[in-house]
A and B are shown apart, each in its own frame.
Chain A
Amino acid sequence: MFSFNKRKKLPRDAAPLAQKLTKTRGSLFGGLVNLLQGRAIDEDLLEDLEAHLLMADVGVEVTTAVLSALRNSVDARRAADTNAVCAELHRILVDILIPCEAPLIVSDAQPFVILVTGVNGVGKTTTIGKIAQQLSQAGQSVLLAAGDTFRAAAVQQLAQWADRLDVPLVRQGDGADSASVIFDGLQAARARGVDVLIADTAGRLHTQDGLMAELQKIKRVLGKLDPDAPHETLLVVDGGTGQNAVNQTQQFHAQVGITGIAVTKLDGTAKGGVLFALAHRFGIPVRFIGVGESADDLRPFEAGAFVEALLGE
């Protein structure tokens, strides 16, 4: 149909990520360059570096790998050159994340279906509101499907977003079958020639087999109308989560095939370092990072900016 406006990236904001992540930088990594300044690369310093990475939730496995890579490459060069060491650390960290730097591209599927999943309380509904707002501003027509039929007032929460953004919402009552609501959503989106359908789902712990099967069912029924739907299965991860994010991603990925990750709540002191562990293990594209309350604060993920913000360059 109206596909002339398609195949465009979500709007990027020019304001640097580093600016948004200053709090992050200030609290922990702020001292990193100072820490390195004028010090020889010895075991003491590596131990300090280790502490910094661990406290950012980077995790034992990746931290160990990063440090040994740093040790290897720095031994060969001039260990006293602080700038070279910083640059090397930066390179190693960026190398881990770069395969995941792939913003969400809304293809000309009619409609493009985004299924949003995640454990409880990570910010799925809020993230949907922000994505919808960005898409609308970019001139795409959006329809929301209130698939969280379990949590009290979750439908109302999404409905308020729909009102605020003036986008249509497909809903049934509380306790309705989630797959059925989302199926209705896809039918409605087709009938109205909407560009993008965003489907909310109830938060569920990845260890709940029954609830994970429900997600599979949602994918299955969407597939009946459009074999390619959902075009994006987004996993929302709370930026404050520790190593359990690895288990979450593993389970959701195994059950429904995650195609993109959104990391929320990075505007506090949480570093989101677990992203390194996720990138290292799964290599799933990171579509968005959430660094604040307004819609513009949901940004495309850029590996370089992320690492720079953390290292405080």
Chain B
Amino acid sequence: MFESLTQRLGGALSRLRGQGRLSEDNIRDALREVRLALLEADVALPVVKEFIDLVRERALGQEVLKSLSPGQALVKIVHDALVEVMGQENQRLNLAAQPPAVVLMAGLQGAGKTTTAAKLARLLQDREKKKVMLASCDVYRPAAIEQLRTLAGQVGAHFHNSSSDDPVGIASEAVAQARKLHSDVLIVDTAGRLHVDAQMMDEIAAIDRAVNPVETLFVVDSMTGQDAANTAKAFGDALSLSGVILTKADGDARGGAALSVRRITGKPIKFLGVGEKIDALEPFHPDRLASRILGMGDVLSLVEEAEQKVDQAKAKKLAKKLKKGKGFDLTDLRDQFEQMQNMGGMASLLDKLPGGAALPAAAKVQLDDRQTARMIAIINAMTPQERRYPAVINGSRKRRIAAGSGVQVQDVNRLLKQHHQMGKMMKKMSKGKMANMMRGMRGQMPPGFG
């Protein structure tokens, strides 16, 4: 759906080829493309304007490095500027205070405050060995307090029970309770509120005064549009924010809201919520989000995902086996296919590669993940003996396997041929002492993929 910035810039910058310097004239069209790309990523318009000015200033008179095309040079300037504006890497919570250090959560309805409060509690308990208490001041939404109580149970944090229906009262009580129980950290969840609701904004300001937090975190949905600028401004004015948490970042939103909020509050983005599980809270990396806003693919995340999802034990076992000179059998091939499926299949892998999202749709259709499933089905239709010694598979066995897996005999032949070729490649690799499995990625693709 979205073109990547590099691709967008391609047309506007083709005229620049052969010119050694970026000038006001030759980058005007290109900057318009940058502007559109940022707007499509939901960066707020005033922030876009300011940012474009910054990029123009930087780009003017820049010599284009020999190794880069003017387009690449400009993309680099844009990317670097984005990273810079987005702020420092991996800001931690500042909990240096007389315990209990109070963390206050604020934001609109449905931003994900309650879930994030529980994720944060878990992170502080697990990684920083803190004793955490959770308290909810959301007396408005039905079952909101119940929700945090349940989540507190799941993460094993203490939950402050209160019979009061006064949010400020609950918050003060919780601080006293946390002090009494010697909690290191108290996380105070609040009701979602609209920034134009003066009464509710006064209320959260009162809670803020009552608990005197060391961290006041603004929780914002990464799918938010232009309005992120208005809400960030209003919350920033009402409270002294110390940081931002961007939630629901595991979807396909480009996350331009992050740039808007960062720019308007001036506060660092501290964490990203990246899933429904209670441990899905990650430190923020500005360079990655910059790439994402620009639609440039996210190789680092891909590598991390590979590390998480590829079954390390199986990979090691296979490497060992190959080293010993034993063959790469069909069971191993099936493992490879299954790992590829675990990573979301070919199409999802490609989307994460730079330029991958730009592949023509027709090419993507060929990367049919059902093919992978079919290959696995063929191998499943074999006997263990056939998987271990594919040489025994004769014509009659092929017909049986084809019938058993619902394919044609040619499909079985193609799989066997591919397995044979991969086997040869693996042998070469292990001889060359390069049992690095990632290198084999290309060869692991089913036919037509590579």
Seen from chain A, the residues whose Cβ lies within 8 Å of a Cβ on chain B are: 23, 27, 51, 54-57, 59-60, 119-123, 126, 150-154, 156-157, 159-161, 164, 174, 205-207, 209, 238, 240-248, 250, 265, 267-271, 273-274
Distance in angstroms from B139 CB to nearest chain A CB is: 12
**A121: contacting residue among B110, B151, B230, B257, CB under 8 A:** B110
Q: Knowing A55-B226, A156-B142 are in contact, say whether A246-B1 is a contact too (CB < 8 A).
A: yes
Residue picked from A120, A244, A265, most chain B C-beta under 10 Å: A244
Q: Which residues of A contact B230 (CB under 8 A)?
A: 27, 268-269
**Does B147 have its Cβ within 8 Å of any Cβ on chain A?**
yes
Seen from chain B, the residues whose Cβ lies within 8 Å of a Cβ on chain A are: 1, 36, 39-42, 44-45, 108-112, 141-144, 146-151, 154, 194-196, 221, 223-228, 230-231, 248, 250-254, 256-257, 276, 344
Q: Sorted from nearest, which 6 A-B pairs have the closest CB atoms?
A: A242-B225, A121-B110, A242-B42, A160-B142, A153-B147, A152-B150
Q: B109–A119 contact, CB under 8 A? A: no
Q: B194–A268 contact, CB under 8 A? A: yes
Q: Knowing A247-B1, A268-B196 are in contact, say whether A207-B143 is a contact too (CB < 8 A).
A: no
Chain A to chain B contacts (Cβ below 8 Å), 28 pairs: A55-B226, A120-B110, A121-B110, A121-B248, A152-B151, A153-B143, A153-B150, A157-B144, A157-B146, A157-B147, A209-B344, A238-B110, A240-B224, A241-B221, A242-B226, A243-B254, A244-B42, A244-B252, A244-B253, A247-B252, A247-B253, A250-B1, A265-B108, A265-B194, A268-B194, A268-B227, A268-B231, A269-B196
Q: Knowing A55-B45, A152-B151 are in contact, say whether A270-B250 is a contact too (CB < 8 A).
A: no
**A244: contacting residue among B39, B142, B251, CB under 8 A:** B251
Residue picked from B141, B147, B225, B252, most chain A C-beta under 10 Å: B225
**B224: contacting residue among A23, A242, A246, CB under 8 A:** A242
Q: Which residues of B contact A273 (CB under 8 A)?
A: 225-226
Q: Which residues of A contact B144 (CB under 8 A)?
A: 153, 157
Q: B147–A207 contact, CB under 8 A? A: no
Q: Which residues of B contact A245 (CB under 8 A)?
A: 223
Q: B40–A240 contact, CB under 8 A? A: no
Q: B110–A122 contact, CB under 8 A? A: yes
Q: Which residues of A contact B111 (CB under 8 A)?
A: 121
Q: Knowing A119-B248, A121-B248, A157-B142 are in contact, say whether A244-B223 is a contact too (CB < 8 A).
A: yes
Distance in angstroms from B118 CB to nearest chain A CB is: 8
Q: Knowing A119-B251, A268-B194 are in contact, say whether A274-B147 is a contact too (CB < 8 A).
A: no
